[in-house]
Amino acid sequence: MYQTSRKTASHEDSIWAVTWPTEEQLITGSIDETVKVWKPAAEKISDQPPIEVTSTMPGHFLGVVSLSSSSDGRLCAVSSLDGRVKVWNVEKKTIQKTIDPGPVEAWAVAFHPQGSLIASGSQSGHINVFAVADKTDSSGDNNKPEHTIDPKGKFILSVAYSPCGRLIASGAQDGVVCLIDSASGNLIRKLEGHNKAVRSLSWASDSKTLLTASEDMTILMHDVSAPAAAGGVAALHGHDSWVLSVAHSPTGAECVSGGSDKRVRVWDLKQRQPIQTIQEHTDQVWGVAYNPSGTKFVSIGDDGSVII
């Protein structure tokens, strides 16, 4: 069973995004227009906070919607409600690149595993793929995507590269999940099962299983290695309201989810049952993430707390 530690008032407003790229680096993004980099405590000590802030990156107008970091934690892509995406060099605390594709063309963001590309789901239903490298010195256009993928669907609320980098998954407002070849941009197939918006996606480390979390109060496990006709879908039921976030454990045995019911649930994926429910948040839970070793996880939400 997991034991929890709380860091209250971590931001001045709701926290909507979180990632934990390295054991010593955790990153959060808030509606208070800032991104904060934290150092988690190595051990749980009762009279000390579980994390300490090491840097603050301001200037995300109207608030942070989504963030994603490179696997080494060196770079972090941040999308905000003003439609811009900023790529931060976390170590240098400088902006490497600013992308302004238009007011509806950037929502959820995801780093390619190799760190050279960023995929962004848009309100228009497209997926825009941008280069991480700054093009201004070569007279290029930072705002122009390398390519645009059109799954021919609704507002894309979530997007995620598979760990192998060959696939992109997108979750839309109408509940449709698309599986896309990242190299060609071709739609491989649509994954069915949800009837409301898909808010979060998370891949297993072997790129064979995709977890999808939805406003229909369910989490679905998709076996993307199985033929489409074989189905390969299992459902996790337990949340009493929208499921806003899900993260697959690096160990593969479990996942964690957070929802509008203010609950964080840990699931045994083999048994497809919740094995722990954490009721530390006082408002809806927008994000969950494991550390790379899978020994801890973090949850964030509208109450402004970071709970590990």
The average confidence (pLDDT) of the chain is 93
Tens of pLDDT along 171-196? 999 999 999 999 999 999 999 899 99
Regarding predicted confidence, which is higher, 234 or 230? 234
Distance from C-alpha of 161 to C-alpha of 126, rounded to nearest angstrom:
15
Window from 56-70, 142-156, 241-255 with minimum mean pLDDT? 142-156
Residue 45 has pLDDT above 80, yes or no: no
The torsion angles phi and psi of 32, rounded to 5 degrees, stand at -75, 10
Window from 106-120, 137-151, 169-183, 208-222 with minimum mean pLDDT? 137-151
Q: Residue 106 corresponds to which tokens in the numbers above?
A: 């950037």
Do 179 and 162 touch, CB atoms closer than 8 A? no
Predicted local confidence at residue 48, as pLDDT: 65
Do 44 and 50 touch, CB atoms closer than 8 A? yes
Do 206 and 225 touch, CB atoms closer than 8 A? no
**Pairing of β 297-301 and β 285-290:** antiparallel
Q: What percent of the chain has pLDDT over 90?
A: 83
Which range has highest mean pLDDT (41-45, 104-108, 230-234, 301-305)? 301-305
What is the average pLDDT across 270-283?
A: 96
Q: Residue 240 corresponds to which tokens in the numbers above?
A: 């009493």
Predicted local confidence at residue 187, as pLDDT: 95
Residue 72 has pLDDT above 90, yes or no: yes
Of 34, 36, 84, 86, the C-alpha closest to 63 is 34
What is the average pLDDT across 146-158?
A: 93
Assign residue 147 a region (left: φ > 0; alpha: ψ between -120 and 50; beta: otherwise). Answer: beta
Burial class of 121 by CB neighbour count within 10 A (0 to 12, 13 to 18, 19+): buried
Q: What percent of the chain has pLDDT over 70?
A: 95
Residue 258 has pLDDT above 60, yes or no: yes
Q: Where are the beta strands (DSSP E) in 140-197?
A: 147-149, 156-161, 167-172, 177-181, 187-191
Residue type, 223: D
What distance, in Å, lies between the first and last C-alpha atoms of the chain?
Answer: 13
Residue 6 has pLDDT above 90, yes or no: no
Residue type, 50: P
Residue 103 has pLDDT above 90, yes or no: no
Do 170 and 127 touch, CB atoms closer than 8 A? yes
